[in-house]
Amino acid sequence: MSDVLKLKYKPLIGQTIPDLESFAESQGEKPFRGRQLFDWIYRQQVDDVSAMTDLSKPFREKLANVPIHPLKMITEDVSVSKQTQKILFELLDGNLLESVLMKEGNRITICLSTQVGCAVDCDFCATAKMGFIKNLTTGEIVDQFLQLQKMSEQKITNVVFMGMGEPFLNYKNSIAAADLLHHSKGINMAAWRITISTAGVVPKIRQFSEEQQPYKLAVSLNGTTQNQRLKTMPITETHSFSNLIKASKDYAYNSRNRITFEYVLMDGINDQPKDAEQLIQLLGSIECKLNMIPYNEIGDVYRRPSDEKIEAFMKSLKRAPFPVTVRWSKGTDIDAGCGQLVTSST
């Protein structure tokens, strides 16, 4: 079937049970056929219509005209350690995005993108160099999971919305994608295994809290003062550092969920022991954990601190009343580490 004909229909991945019930009715079928389709796509993760054996033959013939996947896998890069895979996908409109699969023992984590490019423009991030191109649809976000799961020999255990883009600037579709991942009649991933990250879009943090979203929240902090953070994260001009800390504190208090702060350590920018002391003062009263991420270099002016500086920084954090870990990014040899995802459209 030609691509032109297929584009007459919205891809099935990304559609909810009510969506698929309506679609089935539009094809002259009973609504329960839509529920069967939901089961095949999300719970059984089958994308071959001919294998959907409880659908009627006439319905299967109609489905031959309908695209299932909104994404097409283009290339796969595997790290030397074999523990990280970076996948390049093409959207139906020709734009490109990257996703990452990481293995650590029995823990299989995938990093999903929510935008092509990014509007936040963090100065140290490769994705920011692309500028903002478009928000991904719910289906384009979920399809990353479904295709990576098909590639993985083990079941995906954790999902982080930390790939290309700012999830909270594509809030509606990011939450809808998380809901599909969590749906009990579909993929059925536990909410606590799904983490949504933000660079600090304060109104959306508040909305996330007010809606009592069940998913985990991560905030990219990367500084200890307004001026320090503003040097690398222009979003701080719109959403101030003090408002970000207050919104994060309110979220942790009201949701009773521990918030994760991400802190990218950059040489000469935010890696002094006094910064560690300031972090203890800032975060000490918040139910949180702190992930320290030594900077992944992308060929610009920023550098990763020396091992000695990282060790000194961590030593200063030993008396912190919250858990602190150093998260060494995997797959940096294939540019799959935090802040390294970047594509160019064909």
Torsion of CA 43, 49, 51, 52, to 10 degrees: 60
Report the distance separating Cα 346 and Cα 333, nearest Å. 24
DSSP letter at 12? S
Strand extents, DSSP E, the chain: 71-78, 84-91, 96-104, 107-111, 115-117, 132-135, 158-161, 194-198, 216-220, 259-265, 288-294, 324-326
Q: CB under 8 Å to 202, separation ≥6 — which residues?
A: 239, 240, 243, 244, 247
**CA 213/CA 217 separation, integer angstroms:** 9
Annotated active-site residue in 118, 122, 288, 338:
338
Active site residue 25: no
288 is catalytic: no
- The answer to whether 88 touches 98, Cβ cutoff 8 Å, is yes
Q: Which residue of the set 98, 140, 166, 262 is catalytic?
A: 98
Residue 191: how many CB atoms within 10 A of its CB?
15
Catalytic residues: 98, 338
